[in-house]
Structure 1
Amino acid sequence: MGPTTDTPIGEIEAFSIGKMHIVQAGGFEIGVVRHDDNSFHAIRNRCPHKGAPLCQGSFGGTMLPSAPSELHYGLEQTVVRCPWHGYEFDLATGQGLFSNENMRVRTFPVTVRDGIAYLTGLPTQARQRGEAA
């Protein structure tokens, strides 16, 4: 990948805590979540399975593997679920959960400076040409 840049996406107060926000940045449509501790996660709004708008699906936790007749819910506020086929992805890594281990969604680091959130790592060439990742 070529050079990258930091792209401002807004004041942190514009992002409600615990809610998925869709932003346009450098030709990318990206889902951004702000957490209670003011940390952020950003993930591409495109499911690698069939191209669904991933971040329009549910966001929260998931059922975890457990013993027969036991139900365990976990990973709260770290999982996004595709609205079309229910594929689940870890917000931090983009890794698919409990399905095809090779299925992954692109994630982007988010930094905060002076109250402004920035996406880090958008390729500058893609930004200039309007390409998606």
Structure 2
Amino acid sequence: MERIEVGTVGDLDEKSVLRLSLPDGRAVTVAVLADGEYAAFEGLCPHKGAPITEGRICEDVVICPWHAFRFDLRSGEPVGTPSIMKLSVLPVTVESDRIFVTITK
């Protein structure tokens, strides 16, 4: 596992997100949750491979821009629709206002 610095606390608020590419090419989005915690998720929807990083975030849920599938940003679990698909979420830590995402290689 590798921890990557993706930004600072001042880089985003509850109305913005950080979209970035990891060194291995994966797209990742970092968002602020309703309680002020941070969440990170990989860029492809597990349903049809849509660019979920372009989806709308409402409270602690991301909504896929293609088919409106909803995923909880804390767990990656689907919301409102029974499914075995799960969004890939990544651990986030904050140290001295610096935001880090932990990835597996």
The alignment's TM-score, normalised by the length of structure 2, stands at 0.87
Q: What is the alpha-carbon distance in structure 1 between the residues aligned to residue 86 and residue 15 of structure 2?
A: 22
Superposed CA RMSD in Å reads 1.6
The aligned counterpart of 1:42 is 40
Larger Rg: 1 or 2?
1
* Paired AA for residue 12 in structure 2: F
- Give 1:23-34 correspondences, 5 Å limit: 23-27=20-24, 28-34=26-32
Aligned-partner SS, 2:60? strand
The aligned counterpart of 1:17 is 14
Aligned-partner SS, 1:55? helix
Residue 37 (structure 1) shift? 5.1
Residue 38 (structure 1) shift? 4.0
Q: What is the alpha-carbon distance in structure 2 between the residues aligned to residue 49 and residue 37 of structure 1?
A: 28
The aligned counterpart of 1:115 is 97
* Paired AA for residue 15 in structure 2: G
Gaps of 5+ in 2: none
- Aligned pair in 2 of structure 1 residues 38, 97: CA closer, same or farther (>3 Å)? closer
- Give 1:1-133 correspondences, 5 Å limit: 4-27=1-24, 28-35=26-33, 38-60=36-58, 77-120=59-102, 122-123=103-104, 126=105
Aligned-partner SS, 2:66? coil
- Aligned pair in 2 of structure 1 residues 86, 112: CA closer, same or farther (>3 Å)? same
Q: What is the alpha-carbon distance in structure 1 between the residues aligned to residue 71 and residue 33 of structure 2?
A: 17
The alignment's TM-score, normalised by the length of structure 1, stands at 0.71
Q: Are the equivalent residues in 1 in contact too, given 2:38–2:92 (CA < 8 A)?
A: yes
| Number of equivalent positions | 104
- Aligned pair in 2 of structure 1 residues 36, 100: CA closer, same or farther (>3 Å)? closer
